[in-house]
Amino acid sequence: MKPDLAVLYEHPQWFQPLWAALERHGVSYEAIRLSDHSFDPVSRALPAPLVLSRVAMSSFLRESEHGIFYAASLFDHWAANGAKVLNGAEIIAVDSSKARQLSLIARLGYAIPATRIVHRKEDLVAAARTMGWPLMVKANIGGSGAGIARYSSEEELAASIRDNTVPDSVDSVLLVQDYVPPRGGVITRVETLGGRFLYAIEVESAGDSFDLCPADACAVARGPIRMTAVTPPAELIEAAERIARATGLAVGGVEYLVDDRDGTPRFYDINALSNFVAKPLDVLGWDPHDRLVDYLQAVLEETR
């Protein structure tokens, strides 16, 4: 018998809490591992009427044959044949491009860090000359802080390009971005569900670490980072909700920091993979996986 829900996932450990929540709520589901999957473009068979993407943009860190672009093709195929796909191909197109994320955020009228986008390493210095120092070079497709380096001068950046130590991106698109000093040394991640505020956390990490992923799996190789549940100002919650809805996120996070130089909140990241905060009962007092499953059940009712 076909299950109600199919979940396409990449990381083998991240989703144990989701499987447990689905089982608690009695939802029939199939967990489909991305790495060994294939599909027939002629077949109209669907794994389930509802499909949820749990594909991480950081998958390229774990497998050189990462499945990001394959997953987009697969979701498009399933959707064209009648499945309701949450965080599908259209969302991957934004999730896998920091350039597209920043363009979307700016079009909505919200502040972002000053950024220039190039597709050749040789153009980084020229782009940097239109900005101030320090600055960062970011890979367009990143995840868990991957592909980000800070530079203090043109000479330092030029040397990194010569030494081939400058960040690279699997799609060859790079961002030159103003290094924004975060007020209080924290960034804020606003999680949304169905385009509505779910919760927010402040994440703090000492130094120039750019890996501020709030999930357990992201913190294994590093020291612990401080995470605190917060309620952002109403206008920033509304902004995060607008960004999530404009992106089309079923579930996902929007990140911002407050520029310590002038107090401006600057949004800089949209993340469609929310494996939620580590130890949610300790940090939030409740488990967001139960809210996610409630949402999935409501969507299932709409598809019937």
pLDDT digits (tens, 9 = 90+) for 46-87: 999 999 999 988 776 777 678 899 999 999 999 999 999 999
pLDDT at position 156 is 98
pLDDT at position 226 is 83
89 and 31 in a common domain: yes
145: CATH: 3.30.1490.20
Higher-confidence position of 204 and 211: 204
Model confidence over 14-48: pLDDT tens digits? 899 999 999 999 999 999 999 889 999 999 999 99
Query: The domain containing residue 140 runs over which residues?
Result: 115-178
128 and 163 in a common domain: yes
Q: Report whether 51 contacts 2 (CB < 8 A).
A: no
227 and 158 in a common domain: no
228 and 269 in a common domain: yes
273 and 208 in a common domain: yes
44 and 72 in a common domain: yes
In terms of Cα–Cα distance, which of 251, 260, 177 is closest to 7? 251
| Mean pLDDT for the chain overall | 91
The model's confidence at residue 217, banded by pLDDT at 50, 70 and 90, is very low
127 and 46 in a common domain: no
Say if residue 279's pLDDT is above 90: no
Rounded Cα distance, 137 and 128, in Å? 9
Model confidence over 162-185: pLDDT tens digits? 999 999 998 999 999 999 999 999
297 and 157 in a common domain: no
102: CATH: 3.30.470.20
11 and 66 in a common domain: yes
Q: What total of structural domains would you count in the chain?
A: 3
Bond from prior residue into 134 cis (ω within 30 degrees of 0): yes
Q: Which residues, 6+ apart, have CB-to-CB distance to 259 below 8 Å?
A: 111, 180, 181, 182, 183, 265, 266
pLDDT (mean) for 268-280: 88
281 and 202 in a common domain: yes
**Residue where the block lists tokens 């009962």:** 281
99 and 247 in a common domain: yes
258 and 196 in a common domain: yes
Q: With a threshold of 0.85, does the pTM exceed it?
A: yes
